[in-house]
């Protein structure tokens, strides 16, 4: 039983359903429906988070957990009977008010039935679906690809057929039951831990073998029947939020390509995760469910992100250092346009505040400004503690703050080296160490972006200190990527190039007097201005790198060219480095 839950029994169709409730019954009711081969405990982490704001209801599907199984099993798990069960539960827990429905896997499959049949109209206020399509929609999807085959459609059909291997096995008589009541249930927790990154603990429950054996009839009673004769009127009569895990081993993203025709009020979300997201990503699911339920209760509407990756970053927490100007500000705006919550960090308080203000205007549901010098270890520790306490664990960290320094090695003082390394390298180290540790301890993945430079792999007699700091950032990123990959945390090194930002006008020049330094700053700023590569393109590259989980991303054409030379013709770059730059 879930900790702190109130349990009751609901009788329907000759069986008893085990129902658990959390939270205040006077609040809006959220009903969570589990999939195969789970029981309601799969939702425990999500339910505990939602219970602070809602009346949360979970029930064991017939034949699972604490609910009794129909006799005989054959014909006892049809979608029609599952709909009877759902109505019996909501009549018991929320008799005078519609509920907000959430389903995962087979919980989502049956919930699509609930939200598309006429007898449930008025009983469902919203539906959040994850990892489980409507069998009717799936049937039409197959028929369209069979009737009008193209290479692309045939590829989609074959791809999903390969992912559905387990469906064929579950239709075989007796064998699935023998496997689950034998060795499979014993090893299932380890399989989930290795393949799905699902933490152990109290899940799966001791009823797993019986749950899985009974649940095989969900497939046998429904799949072939519905795929052969899908209903033509399976339209959703409530708003739908679709959450798609991008790494789902069982369901193709293409299954949902035409979903808008069946669910006119559709909100799409994506997660870089595998199938069992109620266990692996409970924080993000709870946040999205809360936002969607609140919107459909007449509260703050779901903000439609205008950016390209709104389905990926909507509602996520993103922290950007050096956000007061240049690439950092452009990156904060790009994440804001994608619907992310943004923390703009800069040592310039006014610049950070302006970025946060503008981020809210361009689409961030929330944005905050924090004034911190990233080279200050204690200040960064206080920032990390404050962020975790007041805003939550960061989903995406962009270590972007940096300073420029030009000048020959023999003209560069130890103090010059300390300043450059403190900001460009130690600032990145502090961010990765503090916020990366929070991501790892949360155990729900994340992404770290470190702004390096094309100078990281392109030697220059004019930039020894700057290039060294950025080369260290590049190698740090590669090492971290290897270390954190097993925890679902991606790490990317962004290597821009000649980008038109104010770093050129503020960069220091070693070995010259103040007047000559000002002259060189103006000349560098003018040259970068003539190149005029905007920081917004770097920001776009950062978002795309996070979506694709790329390791090293040279951005500008010259950065990409130098990267190729560094890999295949490093001698050419060394010869170029000997040329005396004209400043």
Active site residues: 466
Q: Which of 439, 526, 534 is nearest to 491 (CA)?
A: 439
Other CB atoms within 10 A of residue 403 CB: 18
Backbone angles phi, psi at 533, to 5 degrees: -90, 115
| Lookup: tokens for 41 | 């405990």
Tokens 């954190």 correspond to: 484
Check the CA dihedral 474-480-482-488 and report its sign.
negative
Rounded CA separation 53/291 (Å): 11
CA 425, chain centre distance (Å): 27
From CA 235, how far away is CA 41, in angstroms rounded?
Answer: 30
* Burial (CB count <10 Å: 0-12, 13-18, 19+), residue 198: buried
Question: How far is residue 566's CA from residue 410's CA, in Å, rounded to a whole number?
Answer: 25
SS3 405: strand
Strand order across the 6-12 sheet: 6-12, 15-22, 55-59, 29-33, 99-104, 124-130, 240-245, 266-271
Give the C-alpha distances (Å, rounded to integers) separating 211 from 39, 47, 76, 179, 206: 7, 21, 14, 13, 9
Chain position carrying tokens 């390969």: 162
In whole angstroms, what is the distance from residue 218 CA to residue 240 CA? Answer: 23
Task: Find the DSSP H helices in 243-308.
Answer: 277-280, 282-296
Q: What is the SS3 assignment for 7? A: strand
Q: What gap in Å lies between CA 505 and CA 412, rounded to an integer?
A: 19
Give the span between the Cα atoms of 205 and 530, in whole angstroms: 65
d(CA 22, CA 6): 7
434 sits in which H/E element: helix 427-442
Q: Directed axis angle between helix 349-362 and helix 326-337, to 10°?
A: 30
- Report the interhelical angle of 151-163 vs 135-147 (nearest 10°): 140
């Amino acid at each position: 039983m879930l900790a702190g839950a109130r349990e009751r029994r609901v009788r329907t169709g000759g069986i008893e359903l085990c129902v658990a409730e959390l939270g205040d019954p006077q609040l809006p009711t959220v009903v969570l429906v589990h999939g195969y081969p789970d029981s309601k405990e799969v939702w425990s982490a999500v339910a505990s988070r939602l219970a602070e704001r809602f009346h949360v209801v979970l029930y064991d599907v017939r034949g699972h957990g604490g609910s009794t199984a129909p006799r005989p099993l054959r014909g006892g798990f049809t979608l029609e009977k599952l709909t009877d069960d759902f109505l019996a539960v909501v009549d018991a827990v929320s008799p005078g008010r519609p509920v907000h429905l959430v389903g995962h896997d087979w919980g989502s499959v049956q919930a699509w039935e609930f939200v598309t049949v006429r007898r449930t109209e008025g009983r469902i206020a919203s539906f959040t679906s994850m990892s489980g399509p409507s069998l009717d929609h799936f049937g039409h999807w197959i028929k369209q690809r069979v009737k009008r085959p193209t290479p692309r459609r045939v590829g989609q059909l074959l791809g999903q057929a390969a992912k559905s291997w387990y469906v064929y096995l579950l239709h075989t008589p007796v064998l699935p039951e023998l496997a689950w009541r034998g060795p499979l249930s014993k090893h299932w927790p380890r399989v989930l831990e290795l393949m799905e990154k699902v933490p152990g603990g109290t899940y799966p429950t001791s009823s797993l073998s019986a749950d899985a054996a009974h649940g095989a009839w969900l497939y046998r009673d429904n799949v072939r029947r519905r795929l052969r004769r899908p209903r033509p009127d399976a339209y959703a009569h409530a708003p739908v939020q679709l959450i798609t895990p991008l790494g789902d081993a069982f369901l193709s993203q293409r299954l949902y390509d035409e979903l808008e025709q069946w669910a006119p009020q559709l909100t799409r979300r994506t997660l870089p995760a595998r199938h069992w997201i109620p266990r692996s990503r409970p924080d993000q699911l709870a946040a999205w469910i809360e936002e969607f339920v609140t919107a459909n209760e007449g509260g703050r509407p779901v903000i439609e992100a205008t950016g390209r990756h709104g389905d990926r970053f909507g509602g996520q927490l993103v922290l950007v250092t050096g956000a007061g100007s240049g690439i950092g500000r452009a990156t904060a705006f790009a994440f804001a346009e994608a619907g992310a919550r943004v923390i703009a960090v800069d040592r310039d308080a006014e610049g950070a505040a302006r970025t946060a203000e503008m981020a809210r205007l361009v689409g961030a549901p929330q944005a905050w400004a924090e004034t911190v010098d990233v080279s200050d270890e204690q200040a960064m520790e206080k920032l990390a503690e404050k962020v975790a306490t007041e805003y939550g664990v960061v989903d995406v960290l962009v270590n972007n703050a940096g300073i420029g320094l030009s000048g020959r090695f023999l003209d560069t003082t130890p103090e010059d080296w300390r300043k450059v390394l403190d900001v460009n390298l130690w600032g990145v180290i502090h961010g990765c160490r503090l916020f990366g540790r929070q991501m790892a301890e949360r155990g729900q993945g994340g992404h770290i972006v470190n702004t390096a430079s094309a100078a990281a792999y392109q030697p220059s007699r004019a930039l020894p200190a700057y290039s060294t700091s950025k080369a260290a950032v590049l190698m740090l990123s590669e090492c971290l990527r290897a270390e954190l990959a097993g925890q679902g945390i991606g790490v990317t090194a962004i290597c821009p190039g000649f980008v038109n930002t104010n770093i050129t006008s503020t960069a220091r020049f070693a070995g010259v007097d103040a007047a000559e330094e000002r002259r060189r700053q103006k000349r560098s700023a003018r040259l970068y201005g003539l190149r005029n590569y905007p920081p917004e393109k770097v920001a776009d590259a950062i978002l795309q790198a996070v979506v694709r989980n790329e390791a090293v991303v040279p951005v500008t054409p010259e950065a990409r060219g130098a990267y190729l030379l560094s890999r295949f013709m490093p001698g050419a770059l060394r010869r170029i480095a000997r040329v005396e730059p004209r400043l």
